[in-house]
Amino acid sequence: MKLKTICAVTALGAASAVQAQSSVTLYGVIDDGLTYVSNVGGKHVYKLDDSVSQGDRFGFKGAEDLGGGLKAVFNLEGGFNPNTGASRQGGLEFGRLAFVGLSSSQYGTLTLGRQYDQMTTMLLRFHSGYTTVGIYNLNPGDQDRISGEWLDNMVTYASPDMAGFKVNAQYSFNSQSAPTTNYGHAYSFGASYVHGPFSAGAAVTDIHDYFFSPGSSLGVSTFFGAPLATAATSVAVREFRTAGAGAGWDFGKFGLSGVYSNTHFDNGSSSETLQSLNAAARYWILPDLEVAGGYTYSKIAESKWNEFALTLDYLLSKRTDIYTSANYEKAIGAGTVANLVTIGPSDNDRQLALRVGMRHRF
């Protein structure tokens, strides 16, 4: 009996020591709701749609104190569809994040694995797609990668905070055998600055051997000067480069922000450039009731889009909210249709999405 008591006390002491040196956090987001769309392929649609205000996710992150200001860190995060239980990101188990690394309070953090590039890390916070209804409000096709896009086989360095200034650098190794969410080799750089209520960020991402479908993504009928056979026709891009800058002012009850992005597609013989300018504003009417709005102007060749968004968000608690929103897009240009992100192209130059949703964070 005495031996059992000694072993139990020893085990408890060891567990307490481990707990003091290490931490693992379970977290997630569930967003779901009903969306009405005025025109998808010529018909109005009612659908139960998820991952709109935020992408649904379930993750683990942790750190182990190695001493001397050095920590081992990891993050595993998967996306899912709450309406079917299916995995997102092409069925990848941890398609949103999967990395391990070392973090130093003095020298910064070095991680290895699948991560967002810097267009998301540095610019999403300033976009109305983040401050209003979410992914419907992103720039055409999310081709500037601001909403949250990933690269595989990534090495990432993030500097420590230097009087409000931070810099990040990433390199992704070529791996064409990976799922189609990965491309050829790529690099991404970002910088941010925070001072009081003001913050700013800038980023650039360059990817070789990129491919996408301009018709279904942007809503255009021609690309690289040639007609597209169908909206689903895939186009190979030898070099893809997107860059942007954003800034914001947060005064507590009231906030303003804006983002500019420039996305260049080059196939070696011709090129196209997509430019987007976004502005966002938010205001807390009550401590638990926020109204927010956004406007985006985008242009590529002769195609243009004007998009407006408005949302009303009510906090039931610190972790649960319900919201209602409206998105409207008007396209301009021959062969150009309205195409809110993730919804699907309209068959004309207009598209309206009305939504009521609920989000819970844990």
Please count the CA atoms within 13 angstroms of the CA of 20 that sit on its side-chain side.
7
Question: Which string of DSSP letters, residue by residue, matches 309-321?
Answer: EEEEEEESSSSEE
Torsions phi, psi for 231 (to 5 deg): -65, -25
Give me the mean pLDDT over the 159-175 stretch.
93
Torsions phi, psi for 141 (to 5 deg): 65, 0
Domain boundaries, the chain: 28-361
The reported pLDDT for the residue numbered 181 is 54
Torsions phi, psi for 200 (to 5 deg): -150, 155
- Burial code of 300-331, b = ≥16 C-beta within 10 A, e = fewer? beebbbebbbbbebebeeeeebebebbbbbeb
Percentage, residues of the chain above pLDDT 90: 85
Query: How many residues does this entry show for the chain?
Result: 362
Structure-model confidence comparison of residues 184 and 249, the more confident one: 249
Confidence class for position 184, pLDDT limits 50, 70, 90: confident
Give me the mean pLDDT over the 267-281 stretch.
96
Strand partners, 284: 290
Q: How far apart are the C-alpha atoms of 263 and 117, rounded to whole Å?
A: 14
* Selection from 188, 147, 193 nearest residue 168 by Cα: 188
The DSSP output letter for 13 is H
Q: Is the pLDDT of residue 165 over 60?
A: yes
Give me the mean pLDDT over the 242-258 stretch.
96
Q: Where are the alpha helices (DSSP H) in 201-341?
A: 214-218
- CA distance readout (Å), 252 to 21, 258, 282, 284, 309: 35, 17, 10, 8, 21
Residue 223 CB neighbours (<10 A):
24
Give me the mean pLDDT over the 44-62 stretch.
96
Percentage, residues of the chain above pLDDT 70: 92
The DSSP output letter for 251 is -
Query: pLDDT averaged over the chain?
Result: 91
Give me the mean pLDDT over the 295-318 stretch.
97
Q: Is the pLDDT of residue 90 over 70?
A: yes
Here the contacts of 166-169 (C-beta below 8 Å, separation 24 or greater) are 166/191, 166/192, 166/193, 167/191, 168/118, 168/121, 168/122
How is domain 28-361 classified at the architecture level of CATH? Beta Barrel (2.40)
Q: What are 170's two structure tokens? A: 């990433």
The reported pLDDT for the residue numbered 21 is 80
Question: CA quadruple 19, 21, 26, 28: dihedral positive or negative?
Answer: positive
The DSSP output letter for 141 is G
The reported pLDDT for the residue numbered 19 is 47
The reported pLDDT for the residue numbered 176 is 55
The reported pLDDT for the residue numbered 134 is 87
Confidence class for position 274, pLDDT limits 50, 70, 90: very high
Give me the mean pLDDT over the 321-340 stretch.
96
Question: Which string of DSSP letters, residue by residue, matches 13-74?
Answer: HHHHHHHHHEEEEEEEEEEEEEEEEEEETTEEEEEEEESSSS--EEEEEEEEEEETTEEEEE
Give me the mean pLDDT over the 208-221 stretch.
92
* Selection from 362, 357, 344, 345 nearest residue 132 by Cα: 357
Confidence class for position 313, pLDDT limits 50, 70, 90: very high
Q: How far apart are the C-alpha atoms of 62 and 8, rounded to whole Å?
A: 27
Q: Is the pLDDT of residue 137 over 70?
A: yes
* Selection from 80, 33, 14, 21 nearest residue 354 by Cα: 33
